[in-house]
């Protein structure tokens, strides 16, 4: 029999606990979700002016009650300005002040409850002052001593609950003015078990010392306010929708209503589980502090209830344990000697964090997007909040696990499983929100949600890899600076990810094509050309304001680890993969990129077209293939680098891939600039001219998306390499964590110069900026053909068109025509031109407004409507000209034209009435 | 043994019988002196509150609370609840439950404290009943047999010293 070696122990304070940021995540979630529910309830309680949100969609010619969301969005988007104008006028958008007042209301009410909670807990009849039971002052003396032991400059207030028979205590109030309530059982126990008394009091003082009190009770206060002001009203209004539903629209409304109901359940579960999880870890921190201050560890020898037998019983006990705010006693006892539980990365907090991040991201964007956050930077700023919080929570957890594993010699987690749970949480949260699904149960393309899971995996893997890299070289007593550096990079990446997901990702999941022109058969030949769609998709990757800085940080921050001066006796960067090998891999990839580019040029040589469209298509093909060559070169560099990087393979892959991009791009740039000089390779330039300027503008357009796509390729290559390694597990032999490290060839100065050059390249890449197209003018709106619908739906559409703007326009026309006619009639041949001029302006304005409004969802009526508008435009022009030229005949003609326009437009209306009748309305 | 006085001096001393809290204090001082601070605290509350809250089976689980579980050897709740029950059953106010409830509600609204509950002098049969009650209650709360017997004996001994008053106490069997 052999004795197991003593387990190394890491002080739980060695790395930031990260619980404050977990509380912050909960508070932000409650605030955002609560505000969202308040606004939603207020909006739904208003009398609907927009047929429950369908009015403008019907008026635009969509069929929201039967067709999919994509078709509805497509029809609405084809008349974006007119549709938006309809929604602005008739839609149920709540007033801006409500969006501002809702969070303020929640915060104020929570502040009030927070202030009242300690008063309620310490009210007369519930507790008694300590002095009432401490005639000789002996208890107070002990408590004052214990407060000094806990390092509290100002002891908390002590009260007694004599009716509580437990040997316990509880702290409440706020950190600066905490109240510790001693239970009657504890006081009775004091003389018979002074160790127990000391342990309980020190544990409560540890909560004060650890600043748990304010955070815990503010979370409790905000939760109660959230339930009272947001959750219950939301539940009532949603249930009312279920009971008093309109059967016509219910099929379309049921998914949304069900999801709203589900969201209330999810919020309750999420907040309870997350809060209990944080509190359980805070309990262990308080236990450890109490023991450090001299509490007897044997006090924790409290038996747990007997574990249940049977699988179901154990599963239930495990599930019930997730909801408790206190850990099991056996875990608490174990943590006193080995606080490994505080460093573990568990699935539940990761899942909850992912879900909370998406709930915050989507709901805050919905809430503020309608009022302030419409620009790119504003949207990016909104995305930064959940990104920062999710990185703070999940990133610190992963870092703690790595530091603990490194210090105690245990295997470090890979971060993939943790990231998987994070991603699953994000994907699950999307399913209870409306932004992907609209009127459907599932998104049009549910498979796109896998991207959320992959993003979580990538996050977990990268953060863990970065932590492993830095802890391998870090020499200082605490890893705080290195951790902050890595987490800042991860936060930037998550921020870029949330921006992309909110814009492109959700559009992709809802089924919106990257290139609508190709799907709906409008636009020019280039729009419909095969290379356009992938090229446009590629372009979206670097459209976000921080997409390129994020990529630069993902490889720049780990790269800095090679510049750290080694510990005495250790080779430079000895614990890391060889930097020289990484650079060689990058060079190899770069050379492959040149070869690929030569192949692209040779392949396209000789196909110089003559027409403009064909020329554009050739250019698009050239760009797409060049981008592909660059990404493949980066992937090749990543593959070479992973071969010798051991457990640091992900970082090695990204660094090599991104470095290779610059090597490849440099060579390609030279080749492209001198394109016409090598005849077999000329594609668009025939003469031998050195043209670096135009080439740079092309490369600037290409490089940004390529750097993002190449980073993705590096992740994929590293994943494949890791999978291969798992399958072909080598014979067990001791290897260093870094794989083949070997002696370093470069000294510190040379290494730092090299890293400086690469970091400068990374920094410079962030200036590549978004493509010209992203900032360019919007595409002209071109309407797709009206979808074929039933007579009933067509009737609803034309009626909606009349209700939502059409009737108003006709009324305006009648007012103008009548007024103008009266003026001419009363003038009896002599009319004051200044009195005519306003009518001319009104006619012209009517024509402009009518032309800008939604087209009538009936082709025949629309033709007449358009003809009437043209006649009104002519009337307005003639009217103005007649006044300017004091031409009476022209004035009479303009009035005649107005009457014609009136007649034509009324014919359109007659047709609308016919269509409505035909559909049973 | 005489009637106890409260620190606040606000209670009316009854003409006959013994206040429950005085019985509890005397018994606890005799058999569980370490629990006297707890009794001191309880006497700051009115009887209804004490009985309601001592009678709770389960303590609320507070966030940031720390407890080693229920104290098995705590005598005070057993004594207070048993003596209070005797006072309720054998005392003269046992019959007018509805009126008492209304008064208690009014007092709570006006934040006025009720007069302490008084336990009358008990007959031998009643004392025997109280003895049995304490043994059962102590067993339910996990106290050992010897300890339960000591508590029951002490309570009965203390109650036996209470002056005999009026026919109500005699007829309450």
| CB contact B47 to A (< 8 Å) | no
Q: Quote the CA–CA distance of A194 and A192 in Å, as a whole number.
A: 6
Burial of A98 (0-12, 13-18, 19+ CB in 10 A): middle
Phi and psi angles of residue A769, each rounded to the nearest 5 degrees, phi first:
65, 175
Q: Quote the CA–CA distance of A364 and A369 in Å, as a whole number.
A: 8
* Contact: A168, B65; criterion CB under 8 Å: yes
Q: Quote the CA–CA distance of A276 and B63 in Å, as a whole number.
A: 9
Strands annotated E in chain B: 18-19, 65-70, 118-119
- CA-CA-CA-CA torsion sign (A159, A162, A164, A167): positive
* Contact: B41, A183; criterion CB under 8 Å: no
Most confident of A199-213, A477-491, A819-833, A903-917: A199-213
H-state helical runs in A729-887: 748-765, 772-775, 791-801, 807-827, 833-852, 859-885
Q: How far is B166 from chain A (nearest CA, A)?
A: 33
| CB contact A327 to B (< 8 Å) | no
pLDDT score at A129? 92
Minimum CA–CA partner of B53 in chain A? A163
pLDDT band at A48 (very low <50, low <70, confident <90, very high): low
Q: Quote the CA–CA distance of A95 and A87 in Å, as a whole number.
A: 13
Structure token pair of residue A917: 């009748």
Cα–Cα nearest to B143, from B81, B85, B97 = B81
Nearest to A166 among B32, B50, B59 (CB): B59
Q: Quote the CA–CA distance of A12 and A338 in Å, as a whole number.
A: 9
User: Cβ contacts of residue A533 below 8 Å, gap of 6+?
Assistant: A513, A514, A515, A518
Q: Is the pLDDT of residue A522 over 60?
A: no
ipTM here: 0.80
pLDDT band at A63 (very low <50, low <70, confident <90, very high): confident
pLDDT score at A635? 95
| CB contact B46 to A (< 8 Å) | yes
Q: Is the Cβ–Cβ distance between A456 and A501 less than 8 Å?
A: no
pLDDT band at A567 (very low <50, low <70, confident <90, very high): low
Q: Is the pLDDT of residue A167 over 50?
A: yes
pLDDT score at A513? 62
Higher pLDDT, A77 or A483: A483
Cα–Cα nearest to A59, from A845, A858, A911 = A858
This prediction's pTM = 0.80
Residue where the block lists tokens 């359940």: A265
| CB contact A158 to B (< 8 Å) | no
pLDDT score at A521? 45
pLDDT score at A150? 93
Higher pLDDT, A830 or B122: B122
CB pairs under 8 A between A and B: 125
Q: Is the Cβ–Cβ distance between A213 and A207 less than 8 Å?
A: yes
| CB contact B38 to A (< 8 Å) | yes
pLDDT score at A68? 62
3-class SS of residue A56: helix
Residue where the block lists tokens 């409507």: A865
Q: Quote the CA–CA distance of A396 and A342 in Å, as a whole number.
A: 12
* Enclosing H/E stretch for A242: helix A232-243
- CA-CA-CA-CA torsion sign (A583, A592, A766, A460): negative
Burial of A311 (0-12, 13-18, 19+ CB in 10 A): exposed
| CB contact A295 to B (< 8 Å) | no
Cα–Cα nearest to A494, from A401, A380, A359 = A380
Euclidean distance between the first and the last CA atom of chain A, given in angstroms as a whole number: 90
pLDDT score at A1? 41
Cα–Cα nearest to A773, from A550, A541, A530 = A541
Q: Quote the CA–CA distance of A92 and B146 in Å, as a whole number.
A: 75
Cross-strand pairs, A160: A128, A182
State the DSSP string of A251-316. Answer: HHHHHHHHHHHHHHHHHHHHHHHHHHHHHHHHHHHHHHHHHHTT--GGGG-PPPPPPPPSHHHHHH
Q: How far is B133 from chain A (nearest CA, A)?
A: 20
Q: Is the Cβ–Cβ distance between A199 and A288 less than 8 Å?
A: no
Cα–Cα nearest to A485, from A496, A503, A471 = A471
* Contact: A170, B53; criterion CB under 8 Å: no
Minimum CA–CA partner of B8 in chain A? A132
pLDDT score at A573? 47
Contacts of B32 in chain A (CB under 8 A): 188
Contacts of B59 in chain A (CB under 8 A): 164-166, 168, 183
| Range in A556-570, A606-620, A735-749 with the lowest mean pLDDT | A735-749
Contacts of B54 in chain A (CB under 8 A): 163, 165
CB atoms within 10 A of CB A540: 22
Q: At what angle do helices A480-500 and A547-559 cross, to 10 degrees?
A: 150
HSE-CB for A529 with a 13 A CA cutoff? 19
Q: Quote the CA–CA distance of A919 and A179 in Å, as a whole number.
A: 72
| CB contact B110 to A (< 8 Å) | no
Cα–Cα nearest to A204, from A229, A238, A170, A173 = A170
* Contact: A212, B64; criterion CB under 8 Å: yes
DSSP letter (8 states) at residue B44 = T
Mind listing the pLDDT tens digit for each residue in A776-832? 344 444 455 556 677 888 888 888 888 888 888 888 888 888 888 888 877 776 777
H-state helical runs in A293-415: 311-322, 329-337, 347-369, 376-390, 396-408
* Contact: B71, A216; criterion CB under 8 Å: no
Contacts of B45 in chain A (CB under 8 A): 125, 128, 162-163
* Contact: B49, A163; criterion CB under 8 Å: yes
Structure token pair of residue B39: 């009794």
* Contact: A128, B44; criterion CB under 8 Å: yes
Mind listing the pLDDT tens digit for each residue in A268-293? 999 999 999 999 999 999 999 999 99
Cross-strand pairs, B41: none
| Range in A58-62, A78-82, A194-198, A355-359 with the lowest mean pLDDT | A78-82
| CB contact A165 to B (< 8 Å) | yes
| Range in A579-583, A746-750, A861-865 with the lowest mean pLDDT | A746-750
State the DSSP string of A139-168. Answer: HHHHHHHHHHHTT-SSPPEEEEETT--EEE
Q: Is the pLDDT of residue A32 over 50?
A: yes
| CB contact B53 to A (< 8 Å) | yes
User: Cβ contacts of residue A55 below 8 Å, gap of 6+?
Assistant: A49, A86, A90, A800, A803, A804
Minimum CA–CA partner of A133 in chain B? B37
Contacts of B64 in chain A (CB under 8 A): 170-172, 204, 207, 212-213, 216, 279, 282
- Rounded to the nearest integer, the mean pLDDT of chain A is 83
- Rounded to an integer, the average pLDDT of A125-141 is 89
Q: Quote the CA–CA distance of A138 and A145 in Å, as a whole number.
A: 11
Structure token pair of residue A160: 């007694």
Cα–Cα nearest to A355, from A424, A259, A425 = A425
Indicate which of B42, B49, B54, B65 best probes the interface with A, i.e. most A CBs within 10 Å of its own CB. B65
* Contact: A166, B69; criterion CB under 8 Å: yes
- Rounded to an integer, the average pLDDT of A608-633 is 80
Cα–Cα nearest to B18, from B123, B164, B126, B119 = B119
Indicate which of A122, A133, A163, A167 best probes the interface with B, i.e. most B CBs within 10 Å of its own CB. A163
Higher pLDDT, A118 or A529: A118
| CB contact A828 to B (< 8 Å) | no
Structure token pair of residue A130: 């300590």
| Range in A231-240, A448-457, A621-630, B10-19 with the lowest mean pLDDT | B10-19
pLDDT band at B2 (very low <50, low <70, confident <90, very high): very low
Cross-strand pairs, A178: A173
pLDDT band at A611 (very low <50, low <70, confident <90, very high): low
Calculate what percentage of chain A has a pLDDT beyond 70.
86
DSSP letter (8 states) at residue A444 = S
Q: At what angle do helices A649-673 and A579-604 cross, to 10 degrees?
A: 40
Cα–Cα nearest to A200, from A189, A211, A209, A210 = A189
Q: Is the Cβ–Cβ distance between B172 and B154 less than 8 Å?
A: no
Structure token pair of residue A668: 């390609």
Q: Could you tell me how many helices (H) and strands (E) chain B has, helices first?
A: 8, 3
Q: Is the pLDDT of residue A861 over 90?
A: no
Cα–Cα nearest to B113, from B46, B166, B40, B20 = B46
| CB contact A279 to B (< 8 Å) | yes
How far are the Cα atoms of A166, A483, A645 from residue B138, in angstroms, in the given order? Answer: 16, 57, 69
Q: How far is A394 from chain B (nearest CA, A)?
A: 23
Q: Is the pLDDT of residue A202 over 90?
A: yes
Burial of A650 (0-12, 13-18, 19+ CB in 10 A): buried
Residue where the block lists tokens 């309620």: A120
B/e letters for A450-475, b = 16+ CB within 10 Å, e = fewer, are ebbbbbbbbbbbbbbbbbbbbbbbbe
How far are the Cα atoms of A717, B13, B50, B83, B120 from residue B115, in angstroms, in the given order? Answer: 82, 9, 13, 16, 15
Contacts of A324 in chain B (CB under 8 A): 61
How far are the Cα atoms of A319, A416, A651, A859 from residue A655, in angstroms, in the given order? Answer: 43, 19, 6, 58
| CB contact B49 to A (< 8 Å) | yes
Structure token pair of residue A226: 């959230």
- Rounded to an integer, the average pLDDT of A79-98 is 76
Contacts of A128 in chain B (CB under 8 A): 41, 44-45
Q: Quote the CA–CA distance of A132 and B8 in Å, as a whole number.
A: 11
Structure token pair of residue A650: 């992900």
B/e letters for A598-629, b = 16+ CB within 10 Å, e = fewer, are bebbeebeeeeeeeeeeebbbbbbbbbbbbbb
Indicate which of B21, B31, B50, B64 best probes the interface with A, i.e. most A CBs within 10 Å of its own CB. B64
| CB contact B76 to A (< 8 Å) | yes
pLDDT score at A231? 94
* Contact: B59, A132; criterion CB under 8 Å: no
User: Cβ contacts of residue B95 below 8 Å, gap of 6+?
Assistant: none
Q: Quote the CA–CA distance of A892 and A886 in Å, as a whole number.
A: 12
| CB contact A120 to B (< 8 Å) | no
């Amino acid at each position: 029999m052999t004795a197991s070696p003593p387990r190394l122990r890491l002080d739980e304070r060695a790395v930031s606990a990260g619980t404050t940021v977990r509380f912050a995540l909960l508070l932000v979630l409650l605030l955002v979700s609560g505000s969202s529910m308040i606004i939603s309830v207020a909006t739904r309680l208003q009398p609907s002016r927009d047929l429950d949100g369908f009015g403008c969609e019907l008026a635009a010619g969509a069929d929201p009650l039967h067709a999919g969301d994509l078709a509805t969005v497509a029809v609405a988007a084809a008349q974006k300005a007119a549709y938006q104008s309809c929604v602005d006028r008739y839609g149920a958008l709540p007033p801006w002040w409500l969006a501002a007042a809702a969070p303020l209301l929640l915060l104020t009410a929570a502040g009030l409850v927070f202030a009242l909670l300690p008063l309620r807990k310490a009210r007369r009849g519930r507790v008694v002052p300590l002095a009432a039971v401490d005639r000789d002052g002996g208890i107070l003396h002990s408590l004052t001593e214990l407060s000094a032991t806990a390092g509290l400059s100002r002891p908390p207030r002590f009260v007694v609950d004599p009716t509580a028979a437990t040997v316990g205590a509880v702290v409440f109030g706020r950190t600066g003015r905490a109240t510790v309530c001693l239970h009657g059982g504890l006081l009775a126990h004091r003389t018979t078990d002074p160790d127990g008394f000391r342990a309980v009091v020190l544990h409560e003082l540890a909560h004060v010392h650890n600043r748990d009190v304010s955070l815990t009770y503010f979370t409790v206060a905000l939760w109660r306010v959230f339930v009272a002001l947001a959750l219950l009203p939301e539940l009532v209004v949603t249930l009312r929708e279920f009971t008093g539903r309109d059967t016509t629209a219910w099929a379309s409304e049921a998914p949304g209503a069900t999801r709203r109901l589900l969201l209330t359940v999810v919020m309750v579960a999420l907040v309870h589980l997350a809060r209990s999880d944080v509190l359980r870890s805070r309990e262990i921190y308080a236990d450890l502090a109490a023991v450090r201050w001299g509490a007897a560890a044997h006090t924790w020898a409290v038996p747990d209830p007997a574990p249940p037998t049977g699988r179901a019983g154990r599963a239930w006990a495990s599930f019930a344990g997730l909801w408790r705010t206190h850990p099991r006693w056996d875990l608490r006892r174990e943590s006193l000697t080995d606080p490994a539980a505080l460093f573990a990365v568990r699935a539940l907090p990761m899942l909850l964090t992912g879900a909370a991040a998406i709930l915050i991201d989507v709901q805050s964007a919905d809430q503020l997007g309608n009022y302030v956050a419409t620009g790119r930077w504003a949207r990016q700023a909104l995305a930064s909040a959940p990104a920062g919080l999710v990185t703070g929570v999940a990133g610190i957890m992963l870092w703690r696990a790595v530091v603990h594993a490194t210090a105690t010699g245990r295997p470090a987690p890979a971060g993939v499983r943790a990231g998987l749970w994070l991603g699953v949480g994000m994907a699950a949260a999307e399913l209870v929100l409306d932004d992907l699904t609209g009127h459907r149960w599932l998104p049009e393309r549910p498979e796109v949600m896998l991207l959320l899971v992959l993003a979580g995996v990538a996050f977990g893997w990268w953060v863990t890899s970065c932590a492993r890299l830095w802890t391998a070289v870090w020499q200082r007593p605490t890893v705080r600076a290195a951790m902050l550096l890595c987490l800042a990079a991860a936060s930037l990446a998550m921020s870029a990810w949330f921006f992309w997901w909110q814009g492109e990702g959700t559009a992709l999941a809802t089924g919106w094509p990257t290139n609508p022109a190709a799907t709906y058969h409008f636009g020019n030949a280039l729009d419909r050309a095969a290379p356009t769609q992938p090229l446009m998709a590629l372009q979206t990757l670097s459209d976000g304001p921080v997409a390129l800085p994020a990529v630069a940080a993902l490889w720049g921050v780990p790269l800095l680890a090679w510049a750290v001066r080694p510990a005495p006796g250790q080779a430079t960067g000895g614990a890391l993969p060889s930097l020289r090998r990484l650079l060689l891999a990058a060079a190899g990839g770069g050379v492959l990129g040149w070869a690929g580019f030569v192949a692209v040029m040779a392949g396209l040589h000789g196909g110089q077209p003559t027409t403009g469209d064909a020329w554009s298509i050739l250019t698009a093909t050239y760009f797409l293939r060049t981008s592909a060559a660059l990404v493949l070169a980066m992937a090749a560099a990543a593959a070479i680098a992973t071969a010798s990087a051991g457990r640091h393979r992900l970082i090695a892959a990204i660094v090599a891939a991104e470095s290779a991009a610059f090597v490849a791009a440099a060579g390609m740039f030279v080749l492209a600039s001198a394109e016409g000089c090598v005849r077999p390779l000329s594609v668009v330039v025939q003469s031998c001219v050195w043209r670096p300027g135009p080439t740079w503008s092309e490369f600037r357009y290409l490089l940004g998306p390529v750097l993002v796509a190449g980073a993705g390729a590096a992740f994929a290559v590293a994943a494949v390499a890791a999978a291969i390694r798992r399958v072909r597990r080598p014979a067990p032999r001791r290897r260093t964590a870094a794989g083949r490290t070997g002696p370093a060839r470069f000294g510190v100065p040379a290494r730092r110069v090299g890293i400086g050059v690469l970091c400068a390249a990374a920094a410079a890449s962030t200036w590549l900026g978004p493509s010209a197209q992203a900032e360019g003018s919007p595409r002209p709106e071109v309407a797709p053909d009206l979808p074929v619908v039933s007579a009933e739906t067509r009737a609803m559409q034309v009626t909606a068109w009349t209700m939502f703007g059409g009737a108003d326009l006709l009324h305006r026309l009648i007012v103008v025509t009548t007024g103008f006619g009266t003026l001419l009639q009363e003038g009896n041949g002599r009319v004051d031109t200044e009195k005519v001029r306003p009518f001319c302006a009104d006619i012209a304005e009517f024509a402009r407004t009518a032309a800008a409004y939604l087209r009538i969802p009936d082709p025949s009526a629309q033709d007449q409507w358009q003809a009437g508008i043209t006649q009104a435009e002519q009337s307005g022009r003639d009217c103005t000209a007649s006044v300017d030229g004091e031409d009476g005949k022209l004035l009479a003609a303009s009035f005649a034209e107005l009457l014609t326009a009136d007649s034509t437009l009324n014919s359109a209306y007659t047709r609308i009435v016919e269509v409505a009748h035909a559909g049973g309305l | 043994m005489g009637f106890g006085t409260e620190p606040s001096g606000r209670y009316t001393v009854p003409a006959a019988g013994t206040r429950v809290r005085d019985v509890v204090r005397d018994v606890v001082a005799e058999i569980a002196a370490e629990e006297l601070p707890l009794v001191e605290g309880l006497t700051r509350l009115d009887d209804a509150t004490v009985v309601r809250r001592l009678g709770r089976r389960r303590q609320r689980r507070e966030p940031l609370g720390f407890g080693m579980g229920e104290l098995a050897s705590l005598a005070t709740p057993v004594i207070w609840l048993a003596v209070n029950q005797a006072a309720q059953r054998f005392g003269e106010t046992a019959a007018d439950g509805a009126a008492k409830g209304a008064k208690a509600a009014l007092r709570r609204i006006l934040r006025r404290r009720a007069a302490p509950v008084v336990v009358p002098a008990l007959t031998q049969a009643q004392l025997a009943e109280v003895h049995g009650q304490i043994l059962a209650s102590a067993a339910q709360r996990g106290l050992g047999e010897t300890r339960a017997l000591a508590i029951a004996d002490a309570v009965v001994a203390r109650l036996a010293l209470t002056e005999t008053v009026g026919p109500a106490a005699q007829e309450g069997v």
